């Protein structure tokens, strides 16, 4: 078929082909291969590295950290597009090397040997020349304590100033008029407040990666935040995200697994966020987002936090350089650990256990004096005297002495560190869930025959999907069979203390809701699992919730003790299977302060 040029064909040449013809010598149509000019190469590299003002801040502060700085200050004006200045007290750059520092791929951080041995944050030697390609760049640096350094200014990548300058040991890098020669990038930049928010986020991440360094960020001359450089990760987390975290952070580790050492801090169950923005991982001093590791962590903490909530978390990981691939992302925001799965599983278990065993802290002040009188609180002690038996001793809880029941929904206990309140419904939920989840052994799940088989009548649309789940239900201990048509019989169920008769649950007998089993099975067997959970987990959570003892149910002392004993043998005695708190602690210190005991 012959090509016919349209009226606008000349505006869209095809490899230099003249409009109206696709014939001719193909080699003549292709431009020759040639090396790009240095200025073009520099702007391409800048496009890869310098995405926005926050990218400049990240590169320059990382250079300061690699230089051994103990104090770094960042000043920003115009959202970083007008001015970015980063000053440090690091080792500085000798005058003879200042010009070389602005050449592409010139660095003191890599000697040309194996990339697997790199321990610095930057190593490609592209930061300074990339910034100089899209802004005016001025460096003032001194490598000794003589008080005299050198100043060098570059515009469009060319040196325009090179002269002595007063400076104590360290380096100050000033970037003016960012993207002045890249109009499209400048036009695409966000508002000043947007860019400041991005710079603030970058600085917070750097502060967590280097808690031993004093970092300060000033915007338009006003100090936005600063850290103390204490070297303590918990302190840095509070300085970065605010004093509201104080008292709610729990230590993690340290632990060692597969040659990797890890430690950190995590917020208690009362301190959660709707997004993952405050889940931080630092690998060998670099704030990163290792996708595989973060996915393993989320799978682990999901059962002990409410749906859609995420923890405040900071993890520091140290590994040998050859155990970490740091060269898989242009901005080095992602790394890959050689033993990622083993490390992720161990850290996930540590995070899950730590959150799951933390009682909810009282956040609001207690009412005192006359304000504490109306309305009177009903306590189960009026029906039964104070429990005279010894303390309840379990692996997961401190020794507790039962006081009584509050408003037929809470159990009140006294421990060595103050008072504890336990939600009776959620405590039973946790016991049932873990009994169901851990009932699988080599001989299969333990089942108990029902006194009378329960009849399950399904809608026509449910029959096929329910029949497909019979094997899954059998693996959980439910013996269910087809009875005919749309009807199934449930003959046996897993051991559920307090729901079905069992020797171990004698003290809880009759408290649960066995009738809810049928409704739960019918309602969940044809539902798809949600994000981060399996069909099995979804069923067990719903089953435990619906069959557990209700709030408002008066309990006798044996039942209360049995609930506390069962709870103390679970892996997460502070939260229910939905991730909601079930245990509240009022410390002796709090009581002393509220009552003004002296």
Mind listing the pLDDT tens digit for each residue in 434-479? 988 886 554 556 788 888 888 888 888 788 888 888 888 888 888 9
Q: Which DSSP symbol is given to 464?
A: H
Residues 204 and 261 in one domain: no
- Among the candidates 334, 358, 382, a domain finishes at 358
Is residue 453 situated within a structural domain?
no
Tell me the Cα Rg of the chain.
Answer: 33
| 445 within 8 A of 439, measured Cβ to Cβ | yes
Helices (H) and strands (E) in the chain, counts: 17, 25
Sign of CA dihedral 537, 543, 549, 550: positive
Higher-pLDDT residue of 496, 16: 496
Indicate the pLDDT class of residue 82, thresholds 50, 70 and 90. Answer: very high
Write out the DSSP string of 269-308. TTSEESSSTTEEEEETTEEE--HHHHHHHHHHHGGGS-TT
Shared-domain flag, residues 185 and 257: no
Q: What is the mean pLDDT of residues 345-350?
A: 94
The pLDDT-based confidence of 372 (bands split at 50, 70, 90) is very low
Predicted confidence band at 406 (pLDDT cuts at 50, 70, 90)? very high
HSE-up (13 A, CA, CB side) for residue 595: 9
Per the structure, the count of domains in the chain is 3
- Is the per-residue pLDDT at 239 higher than 70? yes
Is 0.85 surpassed by the pTM of this model?
no
Report which of 308, 311, 312, 340 is spatially closest to residue 324, judged by C-alpha positions. Answer: 340
Express each pLDDT in 270-306 by its tens digit.
889 999 999 999 999 999 988 889 999 999 998 898 8
**Choice among 32-36, 179-183, 453-457 with the minimum mean pLDDT:** 32-36
Q: What is the mean pLDDT of residues 380-389?
A: 55
Cα 510 from Cα 497, distance rounded (Å): 9
Residue 217 pairs with which residues in a beta bridge?
A: 74, 225
pLDDT of residue 384 exceeding 80: no
Residue 141 lies in a domain: yes
Backbone phi, then psi, for 222, in 5-degree steps?
-105, 130
Q: Are residues 219 and 169 in the same domain?
A: yes
Q: Which of 466, 450, 570, 446 is nearest to 520 (CA)?
A: 466
Asked if residue 205 and residue 256 are part of one domain, the reply reads no
Same structural domain for residues 200 and 303?
no
- Mean pLDDT to the nearest integer, 490-497: 88
- Paired with 459 in beta bridges are none
Dihedrals phi, psi of 415, to nearest 5 degrees: -125, 175
Alpha-carbon gap, residue 85 to 66, rounded angstroms: 17
pLDDT exceeds cutoff 80 at 369: no
Contact residues for 192 (Cβ-Cβ < 8 A; gap 6+):
78, 79, 81
Helix (H) or strand (E) holding 426: helix 424-437
Identify the three-state secondary structure at position 579: coil
Domain end position, chosen among 332, 358, 384: 358
Q: What is the pLDDT of residue 353?
A: 93
Angle between helical axes of 424-437 and 535-547 (0-180°, round to 10): 140
- If you write DSSP's letter for every residue of 348-388 in order, what string do you get? HHHHHHHHHTPPEEP-SPPP-GGGGSSSPPPBGGGTSPPP-
- CATH code assigned at 305: 3.30.230.10
Q: What is the pLDDT of residue 549?
A: 94
253: pLDDT strictly greater than 60:
yes
User: Do residues 76 and 191 share a domain?
Assistant: yes
Q: Do both 160 and 57 map to the same domain?
A: yes
Would you say residue 293 lies in a domain?
yes
Question: Does 404 fall in a domain?
Answer: no
CB atoms within 10 A of CB 499: 30
Residue 96 covered by a domain: yes
Cα atoms in the Cβ-side hemisphere of radius 13 Å centred on 138: 16
Residue 584 has pLDDT above 70, yes or no: yes
262 vs 469: CA distance, rounded Å:
41
Residue 257: CA atoms inside 13 Å, Cβ hemisphere, count? 20
- Are 52 and 141 contained in the same domain? yes
Q: What does the angle CA 309 – CA 314 – CA 318 come to, to the nearest 5 degrees? A: 140
CATH classification of the domain holding 82:
3.30.565.10
pLDDT > 50? residue 433: yes
Q: What is the model's pLDDT at position 60?
A: 94
Q: Domain span at residue 26?
A: 1-31
Higher pLDDT, 174 or 123: 174
pLDDT of residue 114: 54
**Is 582 part of any domain?**
no
What's the pLDDT at 457?
A: 87
Give the residue-averaged pLDDT of 13-18: 45
User: 2 CB contacts (<8 Å, ≥6 apart)?
Assistant: none
How many Cα neighbours within 13 Å face the side chain of 311?
Answer: 32
Instruction: Kindly report which listed range (157-166, 286-295, 521-530) carries the lowest average pLDDT score.
Output: 521-530
Judgement on whether residues 178 and 210 belong to the same structural domain of the protein = yes
* Model confidence band, residue 77 (pLDDT cutoffs 50, 70, 90): very high
Nearest-angstrom CA–CA distance, 223 and 204:
14
27 and 128 assigned to the same domain: no
Give a yes or no: residue 584 inside a domain: no
Domain-terminating residue out of 358, 381, 400: 358
How large a percentage of the chain has pLDDT more than 90?
A: 45
Of 174, 186, 158, 179, the C-alpha closest to 86 is 174
* Model pLDDT, residue 15: 43
The pLDDT value recorded for residue 514 is 86
Instruction: Give 436's Cβ-side CA count (13 Å radius).
Output: 29
* Contact predicate 529/537, CB 8 Å: yes
* DSSP code of residue 391: -
Percentage of the chain beyond pLDDT 70 is 80
User: Does residue 75 sit in the same domain as residue 15?
Assistant: no
**What pLDDT was estimated at residue 596?**
78
**Stretch 257-267: mean pLDDT, rounded?**
94
Residue 76: both structure tokens together: 């920003």
- Indicate if the alpha-carbon torsion angle 273, 275, 276, 278 is positive or negative: negative
Q: Are residues 93 and 199 in the same domain?
A: yes
DSSP secondary structure, 87-156, as one string = EE-S----HHHHHHHTSTT--SS--SS-GGG--SS--SS-HHHHHHHHSEEEEEEESSSSSEEEEEEEET
The pLDDT mean for the chain works out to: 83
Residues 161, 163: Cα–Cα separation, whole Å:
6
Kindly state the average pLDDT of the residues 72-98: 94
Please return the burial class of 471, using the count of CB atoms within 10 Å of its CB with bins 0-12, 13-18 and 19+: exposed
| Helix, coil or strand: residue 532 | coil
Task: Examine residue 84 and state whether it is found in any structural domain, yes or no.
Answer: yes
The token duo for 430 is: 């946790």
Please report the pLDDT score of residue 24 as a whole number. Answer: 52
Segment (H or E) for 205: helix 192-209
Query: What distance, in Å, lies between the first and last C-alpha atoms of the chain?
Result: 100
pLDDT of residue 39: 62
């Amino acid at each position: 078929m012959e090509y016919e040029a349209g009226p606008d064909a000349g505006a869209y040449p095809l490899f230099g082909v003249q409009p109206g013809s696709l014939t001719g010598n193909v080699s003549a149509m292709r431009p020759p291969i040639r090396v790009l000019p240095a200025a073009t190469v520099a702007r391409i590299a800048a496009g890869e590295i310098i995405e926005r003002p926050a990218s400049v801040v990240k590169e320059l502060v990382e250079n300061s950290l690699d230089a051994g700085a103990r104090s770094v200050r960042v000043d920003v004006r115009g959202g970083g597009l007008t001015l970015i200045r980063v000053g440090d007290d690091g080792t500085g750059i000798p005058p003879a090397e200042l010009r070389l520092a602005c050449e592409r791929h010139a660095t003191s951080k890599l000697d040309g040997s194996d990339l697997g041995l790199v321990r610095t944050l930057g190593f490609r030697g592209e930061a300074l020349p990339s910034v100089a390609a899209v802004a005016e760049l001025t460096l003032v640096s001194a490598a000794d304590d003589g008080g005299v350094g050198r100043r060098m200014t570059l515009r469009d990548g060319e040196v325009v100033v090179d002269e002595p300058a007063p400076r104590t040991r360290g380096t100050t890098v000033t970037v003016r008029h960012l993207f002045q020669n890249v109009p499209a990038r400048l036009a695409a930049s966000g508002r000043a407040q947007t860019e400041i928010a991005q710079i603030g986020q970058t600085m917070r991440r750097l502060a967590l990666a280097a808690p031993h360094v004093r970092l300060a960020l000033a915007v338009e001359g006003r100090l936005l935040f600063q850290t103390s450089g204490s070297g303590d990760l918990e302190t840095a987390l509070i300085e970065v995200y605010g004093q509201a975290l104080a008292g709610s952070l729990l230590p993690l580790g340290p632990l060692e697994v597969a040659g990797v050492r890890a430690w950190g801090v995590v917020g208690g169950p009362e301190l959660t966020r709707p997004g993952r923005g405050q889940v931080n991982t630092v690998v060998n001093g670099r704030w990163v987002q290792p996708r595989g590791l973060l996915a393993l962590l989320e799978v682990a903490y999901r059962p002990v936090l409410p749906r859609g909530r995420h923890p405040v978390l900071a993890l520091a990981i140290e590994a040998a350089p050859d155990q970490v691939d740091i060269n898989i992302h242009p901005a080095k925001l992602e790394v890959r650990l050689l033993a990622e799965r083993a490390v992720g599983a161990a850290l996930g278990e540590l995070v899950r256990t730590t959150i799951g065993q933390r009682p909810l802290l009282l956040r609001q002040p207690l009412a005192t004096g006359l304000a504490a009188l109306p309305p009177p609180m009903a306590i189960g002690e009026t029906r039964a005297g104070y429990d005279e038996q010894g303390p309840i001793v379990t692996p997961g809880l401190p020794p507790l002495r039962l006081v009584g029941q509050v408003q037929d929904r809470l159990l009140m206990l006294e421990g060595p560190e103050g008072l504890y309140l336990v939600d009776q419904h959620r405590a039973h939920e946790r016991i049932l869930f873990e009994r169901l989840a851990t009932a699988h052994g080599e001989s299969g799940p333990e089942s108990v025959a029902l006194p009378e088989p329960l009849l399950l009548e399904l809608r026509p649309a449910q029959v096929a999907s329910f029949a497909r789940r019979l094997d899954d239900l059998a693996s959980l201990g439910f013996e269910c069979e087809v009875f005919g048509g749309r009807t199934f019989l449930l003959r046996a169920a897993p051991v559920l203390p307090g729901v079905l008769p069992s020797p171990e649950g004698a003290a809880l007998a009759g408290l649960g809701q066995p009738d809810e089993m049928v409704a739960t099975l019918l309602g969940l067997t044809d539902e798809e699992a949600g994000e981060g959970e399996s069909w099995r987990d979804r069923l067990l959570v719903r089953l435990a919730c619906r069959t557990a003892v209700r709030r408002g149910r008066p309990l006798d002392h044996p039942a209360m003790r049995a609930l506390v004993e069962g709870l103390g043998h679970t892996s997460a005695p502070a939260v229910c299977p939905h991730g909601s708190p079930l245990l509240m602690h009022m410390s002796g210190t709090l009581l002393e302060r509220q009552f003004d005991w002296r």
